[in-house]
A and B are shown apart, each in its own frame.
Chain A
Amino acid sequence: MHGPQAEISREIFWNIVGPGFPVEQVLLYILVVGAILLFVRGLVKSGFVTRLKVAFEATGSDVERVNDPWSRLWYTLVDIFAHRKILKEPYQGAFHFFIFYGFLALLITTIIVFLQADVIWPIWRVWFMKDGFYLGLSLFADIFGLLAIIGVLMALARRYFFKPKWLDEKGEDNVILWYILAILVTGFIIEALRIQATEVNPASPMNPYIWFSPVGRTVAFIFAGMSEVALRDTHKVLWWVHVLGALGFIIYIAYSKLIHILMTPVNIFLRPDTDQPPIRTMPPEMFETAESFGIHNVEEFSWKDFLDNEACMRCGRCVEVCPAFNTDKPLLPRDVIQDIRSYVNQKAQIALDPNGTYQVLADDQYTGPALIGDGISKDTIWACTTCMGCVDACPAYILQFPKLIDLRRYLVMMESDFPAEVLDVFKGMENNSNPWGIGAHTRADWAKGLDVPIMAEKGEAEYLFYVGCAGAFDDLNKKVAISLVKLFKLAGLDFAILGTEEGCCGDSAKKIGNEYLYQALATANIEVFKSYNVKKIITLCPHGYNTLKHDYKELGGNFQVFHYTEILDTLIKKGKIQLKHPIENLGTITLHDSCYLGRYNKIYDQPRTLLKALKSGSLVEMEDHHAKSFCCGAGGGRMWMEETLGTRINQKRTQEALDAGAKTVCTACPFCYTMISDGIKELELEDKLQAIDIAQLVVRAAGLDDKIPKAAESGEPKQEEATE
């Protein structure tokens, strides 16, 4: 007998442990210890420990991971218990929530039972599992157990009836769900058998409270006709099945994606504490001293990158949002992580010596499969637009695409291996500080005839208007630059441009992997900014915005940087710009969120506020917007590369705008503007859809225009093409 027969309670180990020496109870302890040992052995067998050995050899630099541990802990707990990120996807969020809380409740119940039966009763002879507390616990466990079953069924339904194309399919995925279901169902059956054998009897003191186990009670109806002996025999068998199943589950954690139960919280705790996904820093001195740049050996990743591999449970949220995947390119961010993981396994097989010590082999000693090429294909590496969709979606705070940048860096800086189109882009940036390679002396030609203040003449200004290459050289985007200077002048803003002293911000070079070139460009700009004592900068382009605001810090450039949408928003709110002129023919407007404004910098509201302030047209959202906005396809240097694989990202996005019923797509980024405009042309939608930058609309609503003045139109004759 276990514990006193309190009136309202139940006997723990009912029907399992008989009077006298509790053999079964001791056996259970042995089994629990055994399961834990087998779990540890599983960590070895599954390759987890081996991968850790490789991780210990990791040499890559990393960002601060444990600063402010208490707030990290708090963040982690909130993230886990509130399912902050997980619930961003309602359906899968919900079933994870149910399974999670179901399991947690059952775990808590089990622990309470353990404390009662194995600690408190044997030592102090106190029985607290009774009366109201017992009934409450009983109800609690039943309800949460049922929730868990509902969760598992929802997950199974998704796998069997409406499987999304981005969902991975491995054997373990189904096994895990059926396994959990079996444990939960057997749990309810043994409860039902016990209830049928005991509480159903009107003489039982528990009889009036029988519905405090609503699920167990309901299931018990099935067994209503069975004899007590049969009930007891079935109960005994199923009890052991249930217990062994539960213990087996513990072992299975080590062998399957269930390890995320342990590793994901660790990864959340260690997440980078910046909003921008950190791209590995390369201190300038490194270019003088280091032998190799970027990553081509897996050990060159950081320890945290290895941890990322272990925390990934293959949920596929990163794949769902990836523009490359969604246009049939061979890039699935989940697979980048999983492929690095299996590559580590593969390499470990070769590089482990007979003692099981991991040897880092030099390039000329190692003959196994290569990380770049065999582990991750070059097409994968070049397909990424650095849209940050994956990083933003990942509930485990894994950095997927920054790893691709490391690989690009190796390819570009060590091997000069990149898409052929990029060569001219690099040369253009090197020689003329713009990706088009247009003569640097023409950088300020767009401003001719507009009487735009130039730093060199003005000396200093409150704001530097950093125009960027697109605003300065691209005909479409010059109109944006022109609109902005007109608006700034209208508002009486104290600003100036750098004119020909301005250089390319370097974002494309950086994201393509040419950090050396990026730093040369960035350092040149920082020097010029400092020479004019610049404090505040307005950028036209979100890429420049992100680079100047965050990346320049690493090179000693600390400036207060604003995107023009922020500035216009403020100027309008202050009444410095008044939008009184209705704009014809806008129809229904939709906003295409730029990745580098939205996901990178959380600027979602200002562009929308500006559009509403126009008081023309009506605003609708596309299917993907805000944090889930779908990239235009131009980020990460993709602007300068041919898109030969799969379908075109810009066309997909353009189609989305059309499907939303929009007549006007607004952008606040030169790349997006170009890509969507091209999409409209390519899909021959000119009569249905138009693309325009927000600045151009604001300038019109303010009663001005965005026309390129005559003076800026006729440049000098262009010289003959270099190598024609």
Chain B
Amino acid sequence: MNTVVCLKQVPDTETLIKIAGTGIATDGIKWVISPYDEFAVEEALKMKEKMKAGNVTIVSLGPDRAIESIRTALAMGADTAVHVNDAAYYEKADPFATAAALAAAVKGLEYDAVFLGKQAMDDDSGQVPAMLGELLGIPVVTQVIKIEVADDKSKASVTREVEGGHALLDVSLPAVFSAQKGLNEPRYASLPGIMKAKKKPVDVKKAADLGVSDGPKTVVKELSLPPARQAGRIIQGDDAKAKAAALAKALHDEVKII
């Protein structure tokens, strides 16, 4: 079974984010594979191990630095990779432009399934999986927590998370699956894996090589940080009644939630 995993390199979740214009300042950032995409990589590898055949190809859109995350996925066990290394395109890419570039790269590959995270940990838009399915003309199942592929690779039965419960559905292959937390526990790359990854083939392409020219359909106008957390405050009052009154007043006048 051949699979493709699309992954995005994002800042480590503990990074101190500093706004720079309509983006973030990238100095001093530790870059990692977006955690949901890591589930996607793991699922593809598991599937390959279970079927005992096939290739796992990583596809990523990102600047030079993205190669590190691609190598990490290769170290985990993926076989080959396509790196759409186009800083200019990436800078402006919105979810649609991202999906367009990924779709163009995936189209050239042989695959029975495409995996990716349900959303990237940085901009959290969550649109790429659906767009990718649309552009590839294949079904999409989002928020997947379990996948079982039929032996003949014609279909898969999938469990996806829905509000307050699970939905079980069958889908014909090839299809796009977006990974939700709980799908699996991503593995830790072994040392031989890391060493081998250095020699695995990575196909580097520009957006133009793939024939994608569609620009972004949305533009970020402003980016802002959440307000700094306030220190806690102890409500003062002579007795329980007075305190309750003071609390109600604060909630009404200051926080404006009642």
Residue positions of A touching B, CB distance < 8 A: 287-288, 291-293, 413-416, 418, 420, 423, 426, 431-432, 437-442, 516, 713-714, 716-717, 719-724
- Which B residues between 198 and 234 are near A, CB-CB below 8 angstroms? 226, 228-229, 231
Assembled-state Cα–Cα distance A287/B185 (Å): 26
Assembled-state Cα–Cα distance A287/B14 (Å): 29
Q: Which residues of A contact B35 (CB under 8 A)?
A: 722-723
Q: Which residue of B lies closest to A294 (CB)?
A: B191
Q: Which residue of B lies closest to A293 (CB)?
A: B191
CB distance from A405 to the nearest CB of B (A): 15
In the complex, 16 of the A-B residue pairs with CB atoms within 8 angstroms, ordered by the A residue number, are A287-B195, A288-B195, A292-B192, A415-B190, A416-B188, A423-B185, A431-B14, A431-B32, A432-B12, A438-B14, A714-B231, A716-B228, A716-B229, A719-B17, A722-B35, A724-B181
Assembled-state Cα–Cα distance A423/B35 (Å): 13
Assembled-state Cα–Cα distance A714/B30 (Å): 23
Assembled-state Cα–Cα distance A401/B244 (Å): 60
CB pair B30 A432 closer than 8 Å: yes
Residue picked from B14, B17, B181, B231, most chain A C-beta under 10 Å: B14
CB distance from A637 to the nearest CB of B (A): 14
Q: Which of A287, A293, A439, A723 contacts B16 (CB 8 A)?
A: A439
CB distance from B14 to the nearest CB of A (A): 4
Tell yes or no: B189 within 8 A of A by CB.
Answer: yes
CB pair A441 B13 closer than 8 Å: no
Tell yes or no: B28 within 8 A of A by CB.
Answer: yes
Tell yes or no: B36 within 8 A of A by CB.
Answer: yes
Q: Which of A416, A714, A716 contacts B190 (CB 8 A)?
A: A416
Q: Name 5 extra pairs, CB < 8 A, besides A416-B190, A418-B188, A516-B194.
A: A413-B191, A415-B190, A516-B191, A716-B228, A719-B15
The 10 closest A-B pairs by CB, nearest first: A439-B14, A722-B13, A413-B191, A717-B229, A416-B188, A441-B16, A431-B12, A723-B35, A431-B30, A723-B181
Tell yes or no: B121 within 8 A of A by CB.
Answer: yes
CB distance from A137 to the nearest CB of B (A): 65
Instruction: Tell me how many residues of B have a C-beta within 8 Å of chain A.
Output: 26
Assembled-state Cα–Cα distance A716/B17 (Å): 10
CB pair A716 B191 closer than 8 Å: no
Tell yes or no: B107 within 8 A of A by CB.
Answer: no
CB distance from A512 to the nearest CB of B (A): 11
Q: Which residues of B contact A432 (CB under 8 A)?
A: 12, 14, 30
Per DSSP, chain B at the interface is loop
Query: Given contacts A413-B191, A416-B187, is CB(A716)–CB(B16) below 8 Å?
Result: yes
CB distance from B178 to the nearest CB of A (A): 14
CB pair A723 B36 closer than 8 Å: yes
Q: Which residues of A contact B185 (CB under 8 A)?
A: 420, 423
CB pair B190 A414 closer than 8 Å: yes
Q: Which residue of A lies closest to B231 (CB)?
A: A714
Q: Which residues of B contact A291 (CB under 8 A)?
A: 192
- Which B residues between 125 and 156 are near A, CB-CB below 8 angstroms? none
Assembled-state Cα–Cα distance A713/B228 (Å): 13
Q: Which residues of A contact B228 (CB under 8 A)?
A: 714, 716-717
CB pair B231 A440 closer than 8 Å: no
Q: Which residues of A contact B121 (CB under 8 A)?
A: 722
CB pair B14 A437 closer than 8 Å: yes
CB pair B191 A721 closer than 8 Å: no
Q: Which of B188, B191, B229 contacts A426 (CB 8 A)?
A: B188
Q: Which residue of A lies closest to B188 (CB)?
A: A416
CB distance from B163 to the nearest CB of A (A): 16
Query: Given contacts A722-B35, A722-B121, A723-B35, is CB(A414)–CB(B191) below 8 Å?
Result: yes
CB pair A440 B229 closer than 8 Å: no
CB pair B28 A719 closer than 8 Å: no
Q: Which residue of B lies closest to A436 (CB)?
A: B14
Q: Which residues of A contact B36 (CB under 8 A)?
A: 723
CB distance from B180 to the nearest CB of A (A): 10
Per DSSP, chain A at the interface is loop
Q: Which residues of B contact A426 (CB under 8 A)?
A: 188
Q: Which residues of B contact A717 (CB under 8 A)?
A: 226, 228-229
CB distance from B240 to the nearest CB of A (A): 28
Q: Which residue of B lies closest to A292 (CB)?
A: B192
For B148-191 the 0/1 string (1 means CB < 8 A from A) is 00000000000000000000000000000000010001011111
CB pair A440 B30 closer than 8 Å: yes
CB pair A439 B192 closer than 8 Å: no
Assembled-state Cα–Cα distance A441/B191 (Å): 28
CB pair A441 B32 closer than 8 Å: no
Assembled-state Cα–Cα distance A720/B14 (Å): 9
CB distance from A548 to the nearest CB of B (A): 23
Q: Which residue of B lies closest to A288 (CB)?
A: B195
Query: Given contacts A431-B14, A717-B226, is CB(A441)–CB(B231) below 8 Å?
Result: no
Assembled-state Cα–Cα distance A438/B30 (Å): 12
Q: Which residues of B contact A438 (CB under 8 A)?
A: 14
CB distance from A177 to the nearest CB of B (A): 49
For B4-48 the 0/1 string (1 means CB < 8 A from A) is 000000001111110000000000101010011000000000000
CB pair A413 B190 closer than 8 Å: yes
Q: Which residue of A lies closest to B230 (CB)?
A: A714
Q: Which residue of A lies closest to B192 (CB)?
A: A414
CB distance from B43 to the nearest CB of A (A): 14
Assembled-state Cα–Cα distance A438/B187 (Å): 21
CB distance from B16 to the nearest CB of A (A): 4
CB pair B187 A719 closer than 8 Å: no
Assembled-state Cα–Cα distance A549/B61 (Å): 44
Q: Which residues of B contact A722 (CB under 8 A)?
A: 13, 35, 121
Q: Which residue of A lies closest to B29 (CB)?
A: A441
Assembled-state Cα–Cα distance A432/B190 (Å): 20
CB pair B195 A416 closer than 8 Å: no
Q: Which residues of A contact B16 (CB under 8 A)?
A: 439, 441-442, 716
Assembled-state Cα–Cα distance A420/B187 (Å): 10
Assembled-state Cα–Cα distance A73/B181 (Å): 62
Assembled-state Cα–Cα distance A441/B17 (Å): 10
Q: Which residues of A contact B14 (CB under 8 A)?
A: 431-432, 437-440, 719
Residue picked from B188, B195, B228, most chain A C-beta under 10 Å: B188
Query: Given contacts A431-B14, A717-B226, A719-B13, is CB(A441)–CB(B28) below 8 Å?
Result: yes
CB pair A423 B188 closer than 8 Å: yes
Q: Which residue of B lies closest to A416 (CB)?
A: B188
CB distance from A719 to the nearest CB of B (A): 6
Query: Given contacts A420-B185, A717-B228, A723-B181, is CB(A439)–CB(B191) below 8 Å?
Result: no
CB pair A287 B15 closer than 8 Å: no
Q: Which residues of B contact A287 (CB under 8 A)?
A: 191, 195
Q: Which residue of B lies closest to A414 (CB)?
A: B190
Assembled-state Cα–Cα distance A339/B124 (Å): 53
Q: Which residues of B contact A416 (CB under 8 A)?
A: 187-190
Assembled-state Cα–Cα distance A717/B16 (Å): 10
Assembled-state Cα–Cα distance A292/B231 (Å): 52
Q: Which of B15, B32, B189 contacts A439 (CB 8 A)?
A: B15
Q: Which residues of A contact B28 (CB under 8 A)?
A: 441
Assembled-state Cα–Cα distance A293/B192 (Å): 9
Assembled-state Cα–Cα distance A491/B164 (Å): 61
Q: Which residue of A lies closest to B16 (CB)?
A: A441
Q: Which residues of B contact A292 (CB under 8 A)?
A: 192
Q: Which residue of A lies closest to B227 (CB)?
A: A717
Assembled-state Cα–Cα distance A288/B231 (Å): 51
Residue picked from A432, A442, A723, most chain B C-beta under 10 Å: A723
Assembled-state Cα–Cα distance A96/B56 (Å): 64
CB distance from A406 to the nearest CB of B (A): 14
Q: Which residues of B contact A441 (CB under 8 A)?
A: 15-16, 28
Q: Which residue of A lies closest to B191 (CB)?
A: A413
Q: Which residue of A lies closest to B121 (CB)?
A: A722
Q: Which residues of A contact B191 (CB under 8 A)?
A: 287, 293, 413-414, 516
Assembled-state Cα–Cα distance A516/B194 (Å): 11
CB distance from A506 to the nearest CB of B (A): 16
Q: Which residues of B contact A418 (CB under 8 A)?
A: 188
Assembled-state Cα–Cα distance A291/B188 (Å): 18
CB pair B229 A714 closer than 8 Å: yes
CB distance from B206 to the nearest CB of A (A): 29
Q: Which residue of B lies closest to A434 (CB)?
A: B14
